[in-house]
Amino acid sequence: MSGWRSREVRSFRNAVAGIWETFRSERHMRFHLVAAFIVIAIAAWCKLERWEWLWLIAAISSVWVAELFNTAIERTVDRHSLDVHPLAKAAKDTAAGAVLIAALFAVTVGSIVLGPPLWKVCFQ
């Protein structure tokens, strides 16, 4: 394998290892994975259109990306701050806030996209 390709493969493997480590070690990431599977199953059952799938996938991805950044920030802060420093706490709280915003966005998108077809099935 050429030098460029081997570096790219190594970078890809490192990225996948980081994602896997986050799923393995962070219970919130596992919760988001289960929630995503449930939403995807419901969406498949509802036979959504492509644009609706796009919104759901974007919402799910935004939560996962926020959770990955949150984990990276928390671990970096923990590595460099042995005691609870106000700036360390602020950094970790801010990262957690980003996850909260992404999760609220995902719930909103899920409600808008899945609400009408589920309402129709359940109440009509």
Compute the CA torsion angle 36, 38, 42, 48 (nearest 10 deg): 10
Cβ-in-10-Å burial (0-12, 13-18, 19+) of 115 comes to exposed
d(CA 64, CA 102): 9
Known binding residues = 26, 67, 74, 92-93
Residues with Cβ < 8 Å from 114, sequence gap 6 or more?
39, 42, 43, 46, 56
Q: Which residues are annotated as a binding site for a divalent metal cation?
A: 26, 74
Q: Which residues are annotated as a binding site for substrate?
A: 67
For 64, other C-beta atoms within 10 Å of its C-beta total 19
Which of 8, 21, 52, 67 is an active site residue? 67
Active site residue 67: yes
Residues catalogued as catalytic: 67
